Amino acid sequence: MRNFLIEVGMGADFHKPDPTKCAVRAVKDTIYRCTLVGLYECKLISSMKDMKVKVKISVPFPDQVNKDEVLKVIPFGQKEIEVESGGLIENGHLRKDGSRDKIMVAVAAITVMVP
Domain ranges of the chain: 2-114
Tens digits of per-residue pLDDT, 61-74?
999 999 999 999 99
Beta bridge partners of 105: 12, 88
How much is the average pLDDT of 97-105? 91
Report pTM: 0.91
Residues 6+ apart with CB under 8 A from 62: 19, 83, 84, 85, 86
Structurally, what CATH architecture does the domain formed by 2-114 represent?
2-Layer Sandwich (3.30)
| Higher-scoring residue by pLDDT: 16, 50 | 50
The pLDDT of residue 85 is 98
In angstroms and rounded to an integer, the radius of gyration of the C-alpha atoms of the chain is 16
pLDDT value, residue 98: 84
Closest among 91, 15, 103, 92 to 59, alpha carbons compared: 103
